């Protein structure tokens, strides 16, 4: 077994782990991220709604409220520095009854106490002006809410961390943690990692890692949320996300839009004891259709292009009451271990604020020297389809791969696919290309380009057909040949 030494070892490369990795790369530290999957946004960070929340829906004084408001405020700068799609389009919470009106006024009061700016009530006329065709008599409008690309944000944070010296170990599942002297000994894959600091940002597995650290006693439940993804043709008719009036524990069904213009319908929110797969049942699709029609009746079943599901880890007390984010360093029980438990919504919005909070906690115990080479800017893959015609011509003249469209729906060129195939994290899956280029995300969902992208992966890495994976080790694109062609 190979031994690898680090100053900081981060378990989990989702948006929270990657934000922490990037934040810590501002300092002279040897940092590694261990991720059990073949890519970093296969769990919750790639299975959410992508809304940049305003911070009004959380209890006053909670970490969820504080870190959401801070995360929301920094999103414009982050999106500029890291080059991922973000739009501050606003959001409405619509209602129809006097009780719902009162509840929305309460939400405004709570939001203002949390420091969330730009909240106000809209009457029916103002609501129709902002979101034509929505069903509701009035709404609460949050002007600071927005939408972001969750794949883009997670990948951008990770790539910037890598550019600043962080190492990512994909397909490295942590199976054991021991404390020896001043170090943690962590077994993952075929390596033994020896580290001074350890960070538990393992999302749905936060409880397991917490137990391995000796920080036992956290009770977790999980909320399984199903969604339907609708055609991009609808996005132009939906200027901002539409939510219903929230209860204390559930945001309600919403109709939101992605930065690519697709419309999302969901979630179902079913409490489960253990996460066990991401399947979506027909009865939940029927329920979402009915509820979605009540709010925004401008889609048909012909607009469905995909379903998906995300799962939230919720830390609850003995009575089942959902708790705040837990971010702790317990010097007595597990010194130099940062333990994050119950990183549910709004941890996408709050991820960089969480990372700064974690860094400050670590620096209360140790002074970190600045990394003089830290560079906060990262450039993503330039989108050919969004370039001016002169720029497109220039690119094609310099590199003919820009002249070949691989994904027709999303208009992604061979040059962009090749750049994604050779990504800085070394991800070699088909979905790795999908999340980095939006190819296979259009109406045909890869019907045309998926096979061509698979072939490009084979060619670039000299792989046999049976070696290419869609997303996970057991998701082979091909199992063998149906027949051999004689040459």
Output 239 or 403, the one with its CB closest to ligand FAD.
239
We find the least distance from the C-beta atom of residue 446 to ligand FAD, in angstroms, to be: 22
Q: Does 199 bind ligand FAD (CB under 6 A)?
A: no
| Residue of 21, 23, 31, 43 interacting with ligand FAD (CB under 6 A) | 43
Rounded (to 5) percent helix, strand, coil in the chain: 35, 25, 40
Please answer whether residues 302 and 290 qualify as being in contact, where contact means their C-beta atoms are separated by less than 8 angstroms: no
Burial of 364 (0-12, 13-18, 19+ CB in 10 A): exposed
Rounded distance between C-alpha atoms, residue 465 and residue 271, angstroms:
40
Q: Does 55 bind ligand FAD (CB under 6 A)?
A: no
Q: Does 36 bind ligand FAD (CB under 6 A)?
A: yes
We find the least distance from the C-beta atom of residue 146 to ligand FAD, in angstroms, to be: 10
Output 72 or 413, the one with its CB closest to ligand FAD.
72
| Residue of 8, 16, 140, 177 interacting with ligand FAD (CB under 6 A) | 16
We find the least distance from the C-beta atom of residue 383 to ligand FAD, in angstroms, to be: 23
Range in contact with ligand FAD (rule: CB under 6 A) among 73-81, 189-197, 307-315, 398-406: 307-315
Q: Does 344 bind ligand FAD (CB under 6 A)?
A: yes
Q: Does 50 bind ligand FAD (CB under 6 A)?
A: yes
Q: Which helix (H) or strand (E) holds 94?
A: strand 91-95
We find the least distance from the C-beta atom of residue 238 to ligand FAD, in angstroms, to be: 15
Q: Does 6 bind ligand FAD (CB under 6 A)?
A: no
We find the least distance from the C-beta atom of residue 154 to ligand FAD, in angstroms, to be: 7
Range in contact with ligand FAD (rule: CB under 6 A) among 11-19, 281-289, 400-408, 475-483: 11-19
Range in contact with ligand FAD (rule: CB under 6 A) among 32-40, 273-281, 364-372, 419-427: 32-40
Rounded distance between C-alpha atoms, residue 222 and residue 224, angstroms:
6
Q: Does 204 bind ligand FAD (CB under 6 A)?
A: yes
Number of residues that bind ligand FAD (CB under 6 A): 40
Instruction: Report the interhelical angle of 150-163 vs 430-437 (nearest 10°).
Output: 100
Output 222 or 402, the one with its CB closest to ligand FAD.
222
We find the least distance from the C-beta atom of residue 385 to ligand FAD, in angstroms, to be: 26
Among the listed residues 10, 35, 43, the one whose alpha carbon sits nearest the alpha carbon of residue 277: 43
Q: Does 267 bind ligand FAD (CB under 6 A)?
A: yes
Residue 223 β-bridge partners: 271, 312
Range in contact with ligand FAD (rule: CB under 6 A) among 40-48, 58-66, 325-333, 441-449: 40-48
We find the least distance from the C-beta atom of residue 205 to ligand FAD, in angstroms, to be: 3
Q: Give the dihedral of Cα atoms 72, 74, 75, 79; nearest 10 deg.
A: -170
Alpha-helical regions (H) of 399-482: 414-421, 430-437, 450-461
Rounded distance between C-alpha atoms, residue 112 and residue 118, angstroms:
9
Among the listed residues 325, 320, 356, 359, the one whose alpha carbon sits nearest the alpha carbon of residue 341: 325
Tell me the two tokens of residue 103: 């509840």
Please answer whether residues 42 and 158 qualify as being in contact, where contact means their C-beta atoms are separated by less than 8 angstroms: no
Q: Does 343 bind ligand FAD (CB under 6 A)?
A: yes
Q: Does 262 bind ligand FAD (CB under 6 A)?
A: no
Please answer whether residues 337 and 329 qualify as being in contact, where contact means their C-beta atoms are separated by less than 8 angstroms: yes
Q: Does 14 bind ligand FAD (CB under 6 A)?
A: yes
- The radius of gyration of the chain from alpha carbons, rounded to an integer in Å, stands at 23
Apex CA 191: angle with CA 185 and CA 195, to 5°?
Answer: 30
Burial of 474 (0-12, 13-18, 19+ CB in 10 A): exposed
Max CA separation in the chain (angstroms): 76
Q: Does 34 bind ligand FAD (CB under 6 A)?
A: yes
Instruction: Report the interhelical angle of 150-163 vs 347-363 (nearest 10°).
Output: 30
Tell me the two tokens of residue 462: 């000299």
Chain residue whose CB lies nearest ligand FAD: 14
Q: Does 131 bind ligand FAD (CB under 6 A)?
A: no
Q: Does 49 bind ligand FAD (CB under 6 A)?
A: yes
Range in contact with ligand FAD (rule: CB under 6 A) among 112-120, 124-132, 201-209, 279-287: 201-209
Query: Which residues are at the interface with ligand FAD (CB under 6 A)?
Result: 11-17, 34-37, 40, 43-45, 47-51, 53, 173-174, 201-205, 225, 267, 310-312, 343-349
């Amino acid at each position: 077994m190979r031994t690898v030494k680090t100053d900081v070892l981060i378990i989990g490369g989702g948006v929270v782990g990657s934000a922490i990795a990037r934040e810590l790369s501002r300092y002279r530290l040897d940092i590694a991220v261990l991720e059990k999957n073949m890519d970093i946004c296969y769990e919750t960070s790639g299975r959410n709604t992508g809304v940049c929340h305003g911070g009004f829906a959380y209890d006053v004084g909670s970490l969820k409220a504080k870190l959401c408001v801070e995360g929301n405020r920094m999103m414009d700068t982050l999106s500029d520095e890291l080059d991922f799609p973000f739009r501050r389009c606003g959001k409405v919470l619509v209602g129809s009854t006097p009780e719902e009106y009162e509840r929305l006024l309460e939400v405004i009061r709570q939001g203002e106490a949390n420091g969330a700016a730009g909240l106000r009530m809209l009457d029916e006329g103002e609501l129709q002006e902002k979101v034509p065709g929505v069903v509701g008599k009035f709404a609460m409008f949050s002007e600071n809410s927005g939408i972001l690309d969750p794949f883009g944000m997670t990948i951008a944070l990770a790539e910037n961390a890598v550019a600043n010296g962080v190492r990512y170990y994909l397909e490295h599942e942590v199976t054991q943690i021991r404390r020896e002297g001043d170090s943690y000994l962590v077994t993952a894959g075929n390596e033994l990692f020896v580290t001074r600091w350890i960070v538990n940002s393992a999302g749905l597995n936060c409880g397991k890692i917490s137990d391995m650290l000796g920080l036992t006693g956290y009770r977790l439940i999980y909320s399984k949320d199903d969604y339907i993804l609708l055609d991009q043709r609808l996005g132009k008719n939906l200027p901002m996300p539409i939510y219903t009036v929230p209860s204390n524990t559930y945001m309600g069904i919403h109709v939101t839009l992605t930065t690519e213009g697709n419309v999302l319908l969901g979630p179902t929110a079913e409490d489960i004891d253990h996460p066990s797969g991401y399947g979506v049942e027909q009865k939940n699709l029927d329920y979402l259709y009915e509820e979605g029609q009540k709010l925004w009746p401008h889609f048909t079943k012909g607009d469905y292009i995909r379903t998906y599901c995300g799962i939230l880890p919720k830390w609850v007390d003995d009575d089942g009451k959902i708790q705040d984010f837990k971010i702790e360093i317990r010097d007595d029980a597990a010194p130099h271990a940062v333990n994050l438990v119950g990183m549910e919504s709004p941890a996408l919005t709050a991820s960089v604020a969480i990372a700064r909070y974690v860094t400050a906690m670590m620096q209360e115990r140790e002074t970190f020297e600045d990394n003089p080479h830290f560079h906060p800017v990262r450039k993503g893959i330039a989108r050919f389809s969004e370039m001016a015609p002169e720029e497109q011509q220039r690119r094609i003249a310099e590199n003919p791969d820009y002249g070949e469209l691989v994904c027709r729906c999303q208009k992604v060129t061979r040059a962009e696919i090749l750049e994604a195939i050779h990504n800085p994290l070394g991800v070699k899956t088909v979905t790795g290309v999908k999340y980095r280029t939006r190819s296979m995300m259009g109406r045909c969902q890869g019907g045309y380009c998926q096979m061509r992208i698979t072939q490009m992966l084979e060619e670039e890495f000299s792989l046999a057909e049976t070696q290419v994976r869609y997303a996970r080790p057991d998701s082979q694109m091909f199992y063998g040949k149906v027949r051999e062609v004689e040459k």
